[in-house]
Amino acid sequence: MAAGFPSGSHFLFHETSSTRKHVIIITMTAAQLQEHLHALEERLLHPDRETNRNELTSLLAPEFKEFCTSGRIFNIGQLANALLTTTPRAATMSHFYVTPLGENSALATYHITTSNSTSHHSSIWVKRNDHWQMLFHQGTIAA
């Protein structure tokens, strides 16, 4: 297993004779993708647990947009600021499920439960330069 990649990932190494460049193709199983995106969503849900919160912004695509449960719309700058300043909160993620949308995109859906509400969430993730980034997120208060 290569460092930094989930166990069970498949690798194909190819070396071209003229350039001596290595190409690595990494594929994840559906279960590995679900586990990986769940871990990324948890990091964004609980930024206070991060050693360096600034690293969280790399999980967001430059054109990121969020429709919040409050009705507000956030762009990457607004969410980055919130990730840096938010205080710890008791929130639990459940019913997490990933639907692949293509080779480099996926939809994550789940519920968040806090002491006073339950909300439904969806995120669109895209894989760019071998890194998954959240492109879009929406949270809706459960009826």
The helix or strand, by DSSP H or E, that contains position 43, with its residue range, turns out to be helix 30-45
* Residue 68 maps to a domain: yes
Region for residue 33 given its phi and psi (left: phi exceeds 0; alpha: psi -120 to 50; beta: otherwise): alpha
* Residue 1 maps to a domain: no
Other Cβ atoms closer than 10 A to 135: 17
Domain count, the chain: 1
CATH code (residue 82): 3.10.450.50
Q: What is the CA radius of gyration of the chain?
A: 17
Burial annotation 3-21 (CB, 10 A radius, 16+ → b, else e) = eebbeeeeeeeeeeeeeee
Residue 54, classed as helix, strand or coil, is helix
Instruction: Give pTM, 2 decimals.
Output: 0.80
Domain boundaries, position 109: 29-141
* Residue 12 maps to a domain: no
- pLDDT in single tens digits along all 143 residues of the chain: 344 444 444 434 444 445 555 554 557 899 999 999 999 999 999 999 999 999 999 999 999 999 999 999 999 999 999 999 999 989 999 999 999 999 999 999 999 999 999 999 999 999 999 999 999 999 999 98
